């Protein structure tokens, strides 16, 4: 059976009793998702929550968003500050509207958690501009090019379009990836899940490969991410994700990665850009 086991896992993850399983969907939710996926080794609970939150937020599923945000906050697996960092990374990779909706859920569930404890929510953390990073644009973009090389293991693109200039170099790698709250490995976990939802072919391939080639995620961890993802976002998209993981692994090692970092550090856009985002052979 495994029911008691699955029900206990449901309680640990969702912080409530499982519903009566009346339909095939509900039975499979308990039996497969909570009985067979969540209990697996290989990823921490916090890691599995990052994958799951990315999936439910990307899926716009109203009730699952509320439930998983509540459970992530209440369990302490993702404290409020980390949840809010999650939202910014989500905005970049899944788009602003989904992030706006999910951040609303954080407000609601944060209030609910404190109400359940019969207490006022503590004052909301306000941010000051000194956390916004380097304000000199020359330095910021140079630093963005370095961060791009470190994250993507390829030279940064030249500032040849608003997307690459104001977007990628200035904001995404010039700022977001350098923030605290979530470390680089955790941002990678979210990003590969978001790219797998999205399934634009090259970003998925690139981010999965860089996550493995950098050593931030092992092949075994990536495989666990694919399964957790498939449970929440389906085996159709899961398959392309798995293929990307297998391909990246088959192509290890990549050569001298330090060369790319050095190339990027030296003269970020005097090296020929690699367009569109192809991994070096």
Q: Which of residues 38-77 bind a second copy (CB under 8 A)?
A: 40, 42, 55-56, 59-65
Per the structure block, which two tokens stand in for 96? 């602003």
- Contact flag: residue 126 with a second copy (CB under 8 A): yes
Q: Which range binds a second copy by CB under 8 A, 86-94, 143-151, 208-216, 256-264?
A: 86-94
| Residue for token pair 């599995």 | 48
Shortest distance in whole angstroms from residue 165 CB to a second copy: 4
194-213 residues in contact with a second copy (CB under 8 A) are 194-195, 198-204
Backbone angles phi, psi at 267, to 5 degrees: -145, 80
Per the structure block, which two tokens stand in for 132? 């916004």
Q: Which range binds a second copy by CB under 8 A, 6-14, 24-32, 208-216, 257-265?
A: 24-32
Between 105 and 124, how does the x/- string for binding to a second copy read (CB under 8 A)?
-xx----------------x
Write the CB contacts of 81 (distance below 8 Å, at least 6 apart in sequence).
125, 181
Shortest distance in whole angstroms from residue 172 CB to a second copy: 5
3-state secondary structure of 267: coil
Identify which of 121, 74, 67, 69 has the alpha carbon closest to the alpha carbon of residue 90: 69
Q: Which range binds a second copy by CB under 8 A, 7-15, 29-37, 114-122, 254-262?
A: 29-37
**Burial code of 150-179, b = ≥16 C-beta within 10 A, e = fewer?**
bbbbbbbbbbeeeebbeebbbbbbbbbbbe
**Cα 191 from Cα 32, distance rounded (Å):** 25
- Contact flag: residue 135 with a second copy (CB under 8 A): yes
- Contact flag: residue 183 with a second copy (CB under 8 A): no
138-167 residues in contact with a second copy (CB under 8 A) are 138, 141, 158-167
Residue 117 CB neighbour total at 10 angstroms: 10
Of 146 and 191, which CB lies nearer to a second copy in the complex structure? 191
Of 236 and 281, which CB lies nearer to a second copy in the complex structure? 236
> Binding-site residue total for a second copy (CB under 8 A)?
112
């Amino acid at each position: 059976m495994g029911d008691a086991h699955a029900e206990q896992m449901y309680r640990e993850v969702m912080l409530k009793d499982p519903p009566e399983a009346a339909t095939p969907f509900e039975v499979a939710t308990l039996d497969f998702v909570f009985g067979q996926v969540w209990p697996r080794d290989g990823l921490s609970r916090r890691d599995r929550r990052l994958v799951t939150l990315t999936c439910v937020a990307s899926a716009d599923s109203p009730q699952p968003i509320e439930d998983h945000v509540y459970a992530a906050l209440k369990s302490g697996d993702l404290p409020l500050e980390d949840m809010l960092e999650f939202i910014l990374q989500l905005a970049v990779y899944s788009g602003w509207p989904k992030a706006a909706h999910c951040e609303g859920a954080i407000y609601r569930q944060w209030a609910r958690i404190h109400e359940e404890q019969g207490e006022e929510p503590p004052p909301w953390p306000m941010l000051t501009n000194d956390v916004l990073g380097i304000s000199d644009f020359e330095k910021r973009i140079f630093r963005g090019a370095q961060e791009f090389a470190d994250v993507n293991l390829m030279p940064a693109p030249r500032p040849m379009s608003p997307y690459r200039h104001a977007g990628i170099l200035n904001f995404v790698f010039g700022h977001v990836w350098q923030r605290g709250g979530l470390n680089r490995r955790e941002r990678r976990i979210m990003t590969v899940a978001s790219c797998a939802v999205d399934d634009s072919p090259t970003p998925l391939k690139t981010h999965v490969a860089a996550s493995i080639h950098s050593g931030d995620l092992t092949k075994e961890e990536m495989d666990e991410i694919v399964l957790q993802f498939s449970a929440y976002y389906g085996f159709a998209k899961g398959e392309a994700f798995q293929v990307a993981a297998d391909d990246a692994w088959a192509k290890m090692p990549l050569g001298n990665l330090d060369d790319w970092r050095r190339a990027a550090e030296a003269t970020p856009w005097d090296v020929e850009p690699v367009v569109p985002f192809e991994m070096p052979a």
